[in-house]
Amino acid sequence: MPDFVVGLSLPLGFVDPAPIGQPTSIQFALLILAAVLVACGVICSLARLKWDENDRLRVASKVLMAAGGAMALVVLIWHSTTRGSWLPVGDNFDALIWLACLLGLFLFYIQGRKPLTGLDWFVGPIIVLLLVGSVLFGAREYRPYGHNAWQWVHRVSAYGGAVAFAIAAAGGAMYVIVSRRLRQKGPPGKSLGSLERLEHLNVVSVTLGFALLTIALITGIVQWSSTKQAPPLAKLLLALLAWAVYAIVLHAPINPRFRGRRAATLSICGFLLMIGVLIAVQFVGGSGR
């Protein structure tokens, strides 16, 4: 996440990173390969819609996605080595790969604990987009981030929140589809998980994401307020809007009218706003208006 502020470094023991290097073409190539592997894994998973009983497809999907994730991790490690800093989320290239890897880990955790058929179909494409985005932005808009403690906390919490919101959006989309299928009263077809579980996934993810986004907003505002620069309006407004949307989602226990399909739809809207924030960061950086 680009820094709002130059300066305001808290004495948290972080050291200034070594000079950051542009990612190499081999790193880009590996990352593209990782994106292709994950995309193939998603396609194999989707093919199970047609060939439900095919266990090979299931295994192939898992292997391909794991290989893609491993490849992305290799690039991340390599890039950190060449950059000379192991501190994550040090530039926009590294940040998007971290985001993709975190999403992948979250996905493997959920699928390993209690599989939720169809989660791959929604989270997988987001991972692919993030990997492709890191290639594009790394090549054309590569920007190292500042490394004081406020900035680091701001970025980590913002990206962590985005991961949680991506999962919430995937769960929300699945909730809307399952709910719609139930209302249409057609044959049950392939299960995408129960509404109860999807709602639980949505609420947990939004709660986690909301907390992280709140931290990101506070740290961002603190950084901005300590500078004389103009606020990054576009980013700030989108982030505040997303925060408000998720606040409504979390409002459901108080006003239960917002639970279920409405909360799921709001989660999707919130994630779209978060994507807007990420894009704003890539294009306009911390000082974008």
Q: Which residues bind another protein (CB under 8 A)?
A: 178, 181-183, 185-188, 191, 193-197, 199-200, 256-257, 259-262
Q: Which is nearer to another protein, 62 or 197 (CB)?
A: 197
| Rounded Cα distance, 65 and 70, in Å | 9
User: Could you give the maximum distance between any two Cα atoms of the chain, in Å?
Assistant: 62
> Minimum Å distance from CB 259 to another protein?
5
Supply 253's token pair: 């226990």
Question: What is the C-alpha to C-alpha distance for residues 114 and 86, in angstroms, rounded to an integer?
Answer: 33
Closest distance between another protein and the C-beta of residue 28, in Å?
42
In a 13 Å sphere around the CA of 247, the CA atoms on its Cβ side amount to: 8
Nearer to another protein, 143 or 262 (CB): 262
Q: For residue 241, which amino acid is it? A: L
Closest distance to another protein from the beta carbon of 188 (Å): 5
Choose between 216 and 266: whose C-beta lies nearer to another protein. 266
Closest of 76, 162, 170 to residue 119, by C-alpha: 170
Residue 191 Cβ, how far from another protein at the closest point, in Å? 7
Least Cβ distance, residue 174 to another protein (angstroms): 11
Give the N- to C-terminal CA distance of the chain in Å, as an integer: 15
In whole angstroms, the minimum distance from the beta carbon of 289 to another protein comes to: 40
Shortest CB 118 distance to another protein, Å: 12
Nearer to another protein by C-beta: 19 or 188? 188
Nearer to another protein, 143 or 181 (CB): 181
- Our CB check for another protein shows the closer of 196 and 228 to be 196
CB closer to another protein, 12 vs 182:
182
The closest of 148, 263, 117 to 204, measured between CA atoms, is 263
Nearest to 83 by CA among 145, 28, 22: 22
Task: Report the nearest approach of another protein to the CB of residue 257 (Å).
Answer: 6
Query: Which of residues 19 and 112 has its CB atom nearest to another protein in the complex?
Result: 112
